[in-house]
Amino acid sequence: METEFNQSCSFHTEQRLWATAALEGDNVSIHRLFIVTAIVGIGLVVATMVSALPQEASARDVLLRFCDLDAQGEQLTADGWQKVAVLFTTPGTPRRERIMVARDFVVSPGSEKGRSTLGERMVGFHVEYTLLGLIDCSHARFSPIPPTVHVEPSLFVVRQSVRRSGEASRRVEESVEWRIEETVPEPHLGVDAAIRYATELRANARDVAIRRNADKMLAALKRFR
């Protein structure tokens, strides 16, 4: 939209200048027109190039990306875990003994926290979850709780060098990106993701008690929709 507006403005400006040059009939006006036209053209090219440049993800963007993936249940699958793990400095192993069910989350603004022990720049955040209950994965039990705001404090995002091997060659490329410090916390699922998890859990359960608990869990979770 902005590009179209700029192009429209430059077109009308150019028309007015040509009209002025024709009325004045002198070389000075025509020379001025060519200079202004060239400047406008260069400005449009620069604006297009700047808008086309990829924007680097901020520290908060990286944390929001994790929270979105987590709410969708990506920690619970092998492929999803890989998407989550790359956002952390030391992701550790998946934690699937207990799952928190949350209606939503809010990521605070970041605050500079100086440097890490390795000299990396650090930005601190906290995440507020509106919790609805807990899932005991081993027994397929859901324990609802009154909607409670739970705060995950001291989540630090650090500026870190990342080394990657090129797909088409053996060349190793290095870039500096934001990563969440420490290990991946336990899952915080949104309601829809929790229902999908409970449905799959029931479908794969061989134990009658597990299926019964999963049925109760599904009934309780669907009330939050």
87-104 tens-digit pLDDT: 999 999 999 999 999 999
Angle formed at CA 179 by CA 188 and CA 189, multiple of 5 degrees: 10
Is the CA virtual torsion 53, 59, 184, 135 positive or negative? negative
Cα separation of 28 and 77, whole Å? 71
- Average pLDDT of 174-188? 87
Q: Is the pLDDT of residue 148 over 70?
A: yes
Counting every residue written for the chain, the total comes to 225
Confidence class of residue 5 from pLDDT cuts 50, 70 and 90?
A: very low
Task: Write down the pLDDT at residue 164.
Answer: 53
pTM of the model: 0.70
Task: Write down the pLDDT at residue 110.
Answer: 86
Q: Are 162 and 147 in contact (CB under 8 A)?
A: no
Task: Write down the pLDDT at residue 19.
Answer: 47
- Average pLDDT of 41-47? 37
Q: Are 214 and 201 in contact (CB under 8 A)?
A: yes
Q: Is the pLDDT of residue 49 over 50?
A: no
Per-residue pLDDT tens over the stretch 109-136: 988 777 666 667 788 899 999 999 999 9
Burial class (CB in 10 A: 0-12, 13-18, 19+), 108: middle
Cα separation of 98 and 135, whole Å? 6
Domain assignments of the chain as residue spans, ordered by start: 2-52, 59-222
